[in-house]
Chains A and B, each alone.
Chain A
């Protein structure tokens, strides 16, 4: 039976507006509602559906971070993951470092498919899945909107700028999710109770990867340039008048 590894990142909830700290030293995230990165929820949902269709056996949810990330792993277990693994790590984990840690987890767990979100909504990097696939020496199918498994291959429809592209990749492979792959299920109360007794293992990142790879240094954070609020016009002739005045329509 295929084994699936899914990664879950703890991020500020997508409905919360995050602001820059007044001194520009970071983002003011203290006390904000935290959630599983929405793209990662989609990744887990896809893995669960594969298992429910009988296409996969075990679904393992992995995260990297502090103890507080157990919360997101418990959410993953409540959604239906069989096991969870927290790789404990202090401070910010950039994509290349995360990929190096995940590679070690992959070596231990030997999954057939790794499903990850295409980007995390905090750093918006869109890199980690591709880096994992590269370090692992395996194919990638990024920005997936449909995945079909067939023996030791996956046929993946990808959302690209020009439309929908189809790739066939040999397993094991890394798949990253786009928003239209599926709609994640809601968690019911009994699932939360059940999740409490599911196994959640903890490892230390330092034990897995002795030396951190080169990293970017964050120098400063600033709010984006604000657009000025414009005018509200009363009717179409007024709108057209303004557009003509600016030479935007003839």
Chain B
């Protein structure tokens, strides 16, 4: 009997869009059932959203005040206890939330973790990227042990929305540590779509030269209904905030359309966009590596080209 437990990420109100992708990864294991664990405080609303994901058998709520904030050291022992109670697999999203939490769950269960699962080849066999995406490794997890993993979200489709899973309260009898206090979260205020789920993304690199110049990209993004991303160089230079970084150590995304503007195309950046539908590159250097992967390239000065695109979009 195999059974999959998927850990829900949420902010207390809204289920993270990646959960429906992690569920797709879990369903690929072809288990007898797939449950979603929602740890939080007053998380009924989140649980109802999770219950609508197609393929989910049950939603298990671990509602307690200590779960109000996503502290890995507090949630991991509860998840490990839940997972040890009859599950063959426990999966989280490969987001900063899942990356922080799941290795703690694995260590408590005494098993290795499979990070960034991009395909399921069998109930113990998975493919994952290594070396910044320069290679794909097929691994097998040890027999007789529970499987712990994170799903590389860009590799998985969003599961359907017509589910009607049962919602149950769950309880675990574990001691929780008090050594960690959650103090605050500072998010950049934005009305734009979320970078990880947007269908169009406009990204800028070092060539933008300043935070002010990024307004060129914001204007274009607003016209296109797009999210705005950035290379590491643009984030390091302080042009934009860290949550906009795309790449190996930022966000791995798969929009239908990606604009790389003034971005050279370093391997660490490309690893974040290789699942994009169409990549458009705008760069003044015809030899820039970004043109090796771009579907449509345009060689020239971004400060001339971007306003022209803006005008063309406004005309239509």
Contacts and interface: CB of A to CB of B under 8 A. Distances in A.
B257 A248 contact: yes
B133 A164 contact: no
Interface in B131-173: 131-142, 145
A18 interface: yes
Contacts of A108: none
A231 B294 CA distance: 8
A179 B242 CA distance: 10
B180 A127 contact: no
Contact of B309 (A215, A225, A240): A240
B280 A216 contact: no
Nearest to A222: B136
A160 B9 CA distance: 13
A142 interface: yes
Interface stretch (B36-44, B53-61, B81-89, B99-107): B99-107
A99 interface: yes
Interface in B169-227: 177, 179-188, 196, 200, 224
Contacts of A220: 137-138
Contact of B280 (A145, A165, A170, A239): A239
A248 B258 CA distance: 10
Given A96-B106, A161-B95, A168-B183, A224 B125 contact: no
Nearest to A250: B316
B7 to A, nearest CB: 14
Contacts of B138: 218-222
A216 B115 CA distance: 11
Given A161-B96, A216-B140, A227-B274, A236 B179 contact: no
B28 interface: no
Interface string B281-311: 0000010000111111111000001001100
A216 B124 CA distance: 10
| Max chain B C-beta neighbours (<10 A), residue from A129, A137, A249 | A249
B205 to A, nearest CB: 16
Interface in A199-231: 213-225, 227-231
B182 A167 contact: yes
Q: How large is the interface on A (under 10, 10 to 19, 20 to 34, 35 or more residues)?
A: 35 or more
B104 A131 contact: yes
B298 A163 contact: no
A135 interface: yes
Interface stretch (A48-56, A68-76, A77-85, A118-126): A118-126
Interface in B63-94: 71-73, 76
A15 to B, nearest CB: 10
A164 B242 contact: yes
Nearest to B113: A127
B76 to A, nearest CB: 7
B241 A163 contact: yes
Contacts of B183: 155, 166-168
A124 B112 contact: no
B234 interface: no
Contact of A218 (B116, B139, B232): B139
A213 B107 CA distance: 10
Contacts of B125: 219
Interface of B: 11, 71-73, 76, 95-97, 99-101, 103-104, 106-108, 110-116, 125, 129-142, 145, 177, 179-188, 196, 200, 224, 232, 235-236, 241-243, 248-249, 251, 256-257, 267-268, 274, 277-280, 286, 291-299, 305, 308-309, 312-313, 316
Interface of A: 12, 14, 17-20, 27, 94-96, 99, 118-119, 121-131, 133-135, 137-140, 142-143, 145, 155, 158-170, 173, 178-180, 213-225, 227-233, 235-237, 239-240, 242-243, 246, 248-250
17 contacts: A96-B112, A122-B131, A134-B108, A139-B177, A140-B73, A142-B96, A143-B99, A159-B242, A160-B96, A173-B179, A179-B232, A219-B125, A220-B137, A221-B138, A224-B135, A231-B295, A237-B312
Given A140-B104, A164-B185, A219-B140, 10 more contacts: A95-B113, A123-B130, A124-B116, A131-B103, A131-B107, A133-B73, A135-B107, A159-B96, A223-B134, A224-B136
Instruction: List the 5 closest pairs (A to B, CB-CB), nearest first.
Output: A130-B103, A230-B295, A134-B107, A163-B187, A127-B103
